[in-house]
Structure 1
Amino acid sequence: MLIGYARTSTTEQEAGLQAQLRDLKEAGCEEVYSEQISSVDVRAQLREALTFTRKGDTLVVTKVDRLARSTVGLWEIVKELDEKGAALRVLNLGGETVDTKSATGRLILNIFAGFAQFEREMMLERQREGIAKAKAEGVYKGRKPTARAKADEVRKMHAEGKTPTEIARALGIGRGSVYRAIEGVGA
């Protein structure tokens, strides 16, 4: 069975999520899991997809960066799939479909995952340099504290019995921000 997984980092990336879902359906995925969450957060739908995967199944993603942020993270997922007798298929890896069922597929995945991690680290390095330059010039303001602006709404939803996870999802903020708002820290 082909099991699809789609992810975007934010709810504003709806078109990207829809494109992934379309591609996964076109690839023949019978079961598809999706979420709009940062890859550093707990990805419940990914966990469900991995739990659902059985021997002989293949987990399908459109791109490596939708699944993992680093080669280590990627190979942890591949190892978990291997232990179940399942595989990973990436639909668009350098324009090609790559499947970990073959030694060649594993090699290509490893090479491209390394390049993807290198590219991300270079982007973050450039970003840090840009921020440092902007701070030195006195023009860096940082991002607006959106969670603080929603503190009253957080407390209201909490009083209504919503869980921190539900509140964070509904308001588009992190769970840590929800806890700080509930406790009145930084308000």
Structure 2
Amino acid sequence: MLIGYMRVSKTDGSQTMDLQRDALLVAGVDAGHLYEDQASGNKDDRAELTACLKALRANEDTLVVWKLDRLGRNLHHLVNTVHSLTERGIGLKVLTGQGATIDTTTPAGKLVFGIFAALAEFERELISERTKAGLASARARGRKGGRPYTMTVAKLRLAAAAMGQPETKISELCTELGITRQTLYRYVSPTGELRPAAHQLLNTRKSSPRKTEHIVPHKPGISPPYDTK
């Protein structure tokens, strides 16, 4: 069975589905099997596209679109979508535009899409290569890439004080500090001792020109030597 998908970018009525709908109906798609979105192609949350993809039956249905740009938000998304359809035994037909020769139900169409897949892989490798080069350049200039610390010296200070107290509830402490349990234990032991990651954080702060804070691990039965407000 043929299932049609249509999309226009604007929701103010300046764009209509008429051209796409007429083309899909002529191609043999039943009017009751049409899905339509009024949303930018860059959006991930296209409700009707999600519903359409879920409704397609494995080894029975074929998805029909007017142009390729109606389906994928970019080349990577398009290739992944069609690869998923192919794995499920679902075909894809494109009626017009640059992708009009694509019909994955035929050997020739599969060959054309294979070229698209190769281009997408090439694009991913280029992005990866540029990212690695950028990180190497940043490291050469003394800057480090990657995610920023979720643990700060201030949070570490509170965590070290609280972890040594038997009444401390780990879940509440993590919520209060805005960190995960895994992050907490990476920096502080259950008894309040500082772990290597904590010392690394402190050493990083010491290397900055700003004033650093002195952290003293809390011992059970001893009041924290600093204000924890």
Cα deviation for residue 14 of structure 1 reads: 5.1
With over 3 angstroms needed to count, the CA separation of the structure-2 counterparts of 1:15 and 1:9, relative to structure 1, is closer
Which one of 79, 83, 97 corresponds to residue 75 of structure 1? 79
Cα deviation for residue 74 of structure 1 reads: 0.9
Q: Percent identity?
A: 41
Which residue type is aligned with residue 33 of structure 1?
A: Y
Q: CA RMSD in A?
A: 2.6
Q: Distance in 2 between matches of 1:53 and 1:74?
A: 17
1:101 equivalent to 2:139? Answer: no
Q: What residue number does 1:130 align with? A: none
Higher strand share: 1
Which residue type is aligned with residue 37 of structure 1?
A: A
Q: What residue number does 1:134 align with? A: none
SS at 1:92's partner residue? coil
Higher helix share: 1
Query: Number of residues paired by the alignment?
Result: 116
Q: Which runs of 5+ in 1 are unaligned?
A: 119-187
With over 3 angstroms needed to count, the CA separation of the structure-2 counterparts of 1:89 and 1:24, relative to structure 1, is same
Cα deviation for residue 27 of structure 1 reads: 0.8
Which residue type is aligned with residue 50 of structure 2?
A: R
Superposed counterparts of 1:106-117, under 5 Å: 106-109=110-113, 111=115
Q: What residue number does 2:24 align with? A: 24
1:93 touches 1:112 (CA, 8 Å); kept in 2?
no
SS at 1:4's partner residue? strand
Q: Distance in 2 between matches of 1:16 and 1:112?
A: 29
1:43 equivalent to 2:49? Answer: no
- Listed one character per residue, the Cα deviations across residues 87-133 of structure 1 (whole Å, up to 9, x for unaligned) are 1100014484530122321332455796xxx9xxxxxxxxxxxxxxx
Which residue type is aligned with residue 108 of structure 2?
A: T
2:39 touches 2:46 (CA, 8 Å); kept in 1?
yes
Q: Distance in 1 between matches of 2:68 and 2:90?
A: 17
Superposed counterparts of 1:1-187, under 5 Å: 1-12=1-12, 15-30=15-30, 31-41=33-43, 42-54=45-57, 55-94=59-98, 96-109=100-113, 111=115
Moved more, 71-80 or 44-53: 71-80
User: What TM-score results when the alignment is normalised by the length of structure 1?
Assistant: 0.54
1:71 touches 1:110 (CA, 8 Å); kept in 2?
no
SS at 1:48's partner residue? helix
Which residue type is aligned with residue 29 of structure 2?
A: C
- Listed one character per residue, the Cα deviations across residues 125-151 of structure 1 (whole Å, up to 9, x for unaligned) are xxxxxxxxxxxxxxxxxxxxxxxxxxx
1:4 touches 1:60 (CA, 8 Å); kept in 2?
yes
- Give the number of the structure with larger relative contact order, counting CA–CA contacts within 8 Å between residues 6 or more apart: 1
SS at 1:100's partner residue? coil
1:87 touches 1:101 (CA, 8 Å); kept in 2?
yes
